[in-house]
Amino acid sequence: MKKHALLISLVLLPLFYVFSQVKTVTRIEFELKEGFDTHKLAKFGDNGMLFYCASTEKNGKTREWKIEQYSTDLELLDTKFIETPSKQYLDETYTNTTDLYLFFSDKKATYSLFKINAKTLKIDKVIGSFPPKVIVNEIGIIDDYVYFDAYIKKSPMLFSLNIKTGKQNLIPITLSGYNPKDLIIEDVQVIDESKEVLVYVHAYMKGKGSDTFIFRFNNQGEKTGTTNLTKNQDMLLSSISASFIEKGGYLYTGTYSKRSSTSSQGIYLCKTVNDEVKFIKFYNFLEFNKFLSYLPEKKQAKINAKKEKKETQGKELEINYLMVSHDIILINDTYIYIGEAFYPTYRTETYTSYVNGKPVIRTRRIFNGYQYTHATIVGFNQQGEKLWDNTFEMWPSYKPLFKKQFITSSIENDRKLNLLFSTETEIKAMTFFSNGEISTEKVYSLIETGSEEDKVKYSYSNLEHWYNNYFLAHGRQIIKNNEEKIGNKKRDVYFVNKITYK
């Protein structure tokens, strides 16, 4: 197989700029040159990280991908290549603590799955085809099994694939008293601590609304339990995720609505033990004292006036938000919820069409990404009762085309919660005690390039917790340096900064 000598050029720059509690330790740059795309990284704690990218040029009927292994000091350790059929595209990626999984598929339902070990760079591969008429979506992996939520003729399934043997299995999702076509899979989540797959299902019954059920499967695909989270409730769960708390015990959180599963008016917290709901509590966004604090004062006053008027009528004011919820974090017996609010944006595009041979100017509405605006953090006691809340503005540097989490977190000394997120060239950091008190709130101009002569013309970045008190800031920058004597004065790079925060 033909190997490319270098897909990207690499610059290693030691940085030692210290701003109070933050230090950028090391930076690497990957030059973005014509002919290569899909630059991505996967982090693996103290096992370092993997960086991967694709050649845009076909090698016959195949395409080559480059996998690079880096240490925690961002030093290149090893490089390997994989090949995929040129008609297959990267459909899903998945990481756990040890491995990166790359799943490729095409329109003819053929697939290639690669398992890449972050420590040894050992690569396992399985290829195959989906059964006829099977449509697959989200991916989750436990041990040697890959799970997808799937549908056959609108009937929900759990599709499993054994990585070592290539064996496939379709597991029907059924509920007594429900037509399979009335069951909609909301999501699939893998719980590493219990080695279980949780399938979240909205069950609709004509004239009786809907309920949200949890199906639990072990790592062999065998069903171990079913729970109705919303029995005798009139709320619709708009989103859901689970946190493992003990054997057989989970905390579920997300957003809810009284009208539609696509909008939300608040958040909920639910605890189950051995498929029994111990509590589920719902909180209207307007129950949080600081939820409106990101708005101008006049806007806050107007909403609060409407709220008070509703309350005098014995009613509850509801406002709609879209929210990405994090998994619950436990610190000092306090359950902590983090949610990031956003809204879709659109642009108007003008185009020309022809009617009876005559040009006609028309316009169409084009989705232009999600604008994130603010985040809310809430503390609950172990009975699900609200203790405190806080809200702060976000406004990240770009609008993603898919829902994601911009805020990254770490726990410090089992008593503090560090929250960090990045804008174009800044990192915003906040530290909370478990009682809601803010220990630190600062903004750092810290996405450094390694040279005082560099002028950043364009930048977008992501920030992720890596290991211990280390974080990775990574993204794209266009940098101009008029003092550069050799080579181009302008460079377009994918950068990775290793940052410490304590």
Q: Is residue 135 part of a domain?
A: yes
Q: Between the CA of residue 244 and those of 71, 191, 248, 340, what are the distances in Å? A: 30, 7, 8, 22
Q: CB neighbours of 381 closer than 8 A, spacing ≥ 6? A: 333, 334, 335, 387
Within-domain flag for 24: no
Rounded Cα distance, 408 and 398, in Å? 16
Determine contact, residues 268/284, Cβ cutoff 8 Å. Answer: no
Strand ranges (E), 394-469: 408-412, 416-422, 427-433, 438-444, 455-467
Q: What is the pLDDT of residue 232?
A: 87
Of 220, 273, 271, 229, give the one whose Cα is nearest residue 247: 273
| CA pseudo-torsion sign 210, 268, 137, 404 | positive
What is the DSSP code string of 326-379? PPPEEETTEEEEEEEEEEEEEEEEEEEEEETTEEEEEEEEEEEEEEEEEEEEEE
Q: How far, in whole angstroms, is CA 289 from its chain's centroid?
A: 27
Residue 500 lies in a domain: no
Q: Is residue 222 located within the same domain as residue 261?
A: no
473 forms beta bridges with: 463, 497
Token pair, residue 446, equals 């810290």
Whether residue 399 contacts residue 389, with contact meaning beta carbons closer than 8 Å, is answered with no
Residue where a domain terminates, one of 370, 398, 413: 370
Tell me, yes or no, whether 179 and 250 share the same domain.
no
Domain assignment present for 98: no
Q: CB within 8 A of 22, min separation 6: which ones?
A: 427, 429, 442, 444, 446, 499, 500, 501
Q: Half-sphere exposure (CA, 13 Å, Cβ side) for 63?
A: 19
Residues 141 and 273 in one domain: no
The answer to whether 161 touches 177, Cβ cutoff 8 Å, is no
* Amino acid identity at 340: E
For residues 254 and 326, state if they share a domain: yes
Clarify whether residues 263 and 360 are in a common domain: yes
Assess if residue 472 is contained within a domain.
Answer: no
**Would residue 25 count as lying in a domain?**
no
**Is the same domain home to 189 and 278?**
no
Domain co-membership, 220 together with 234: no
Here the tokens at position 472 are: 């990775």
For residue 447, what pLDDT is reported? Answer: 65
d(CA 87, CA 107): 8
Say if pTM beats, i.e. exceeds, 0.75.
yes
Q: Give the integer Cα–Cα distance in Å for 464 and 445.
A: 17
Instruction: Report d(CA 201, CA 306) in Å as an integer.
Output: 35
242 falls within a domain = yes
Residues 173 and 187 both lie in one domain: yes
Same domain, 270 and 218: no
- What tokens does 133 get? 């008429």
Where among 370, 386, 401 does a domain terminate?
A: 370
CATH (domain of 199): 2.40.10.480
SS3 220: coil
Q: What is the DSSP letter of 430?
A: E
Query: pLDDT tens digits, the chain, 502 residues: what are they?
Result: 333 333 333 444 444 343 347 778 888 988 887 667 788 999 999 999 999 999 878 888 899 999 999 999 999 999 999 999 999 999 999 999 999 999 999 988 899 999 999 999 999 999 999 888 888 888 889 988 999 988 988 899 999 988 888 889 999 999 988 998 899 998 899 998 999 999 999 998 877 778 999 999 988 888 899 999 999 888 889 899 999 998 889 999 999 988 766 679 999 999 999 989 999 999 999 999 888 888 889 999 999 999 999 888 988 888 888 999 999 999 989 999 999 999 999 999 998 888 888 888 989 999 999 999 999 999 999 999 999 999 998 888 789 999 999 999 999 888 899 999 887 667 888 899 999 998 888 877 656 666 777 787 777 888 899 999 899 989 888 888 877 766 677 888 888 989 888 7
Our count of domains for the chain comes to 2
Are 124 and 146 in contact by the 8 Å Cβ rule? The answer is no
Beta bridge partners of 47: none
Whether residues 182 and 290 fall in one domain? no
Rounded Cα distance between 280 and 230, Å, is 8
In the chain the first and final C-alpha atoms are separated, in Å, by: 47
Residues 6 or more apart whose CB falls under 8 angstroms from that of 136 comprise: 130, 148, 149, 150, 159
Whether 246 and 266 share a structural domain: yes
Structure tokens at 312: 């005098």
Q: Which domain holds residue 181?
A: 130-203+212-228
CA 112 – CA 120 distance, rounded (Å): 21
Token couple for 223: 């069903």
Q: Are residues 236 and 365 in the same domain?
A: yes
Helix (H, G, I), strand (E, B) or coil at 140: strand
- Given 355, 370, 385, the domain boundary residue is 370
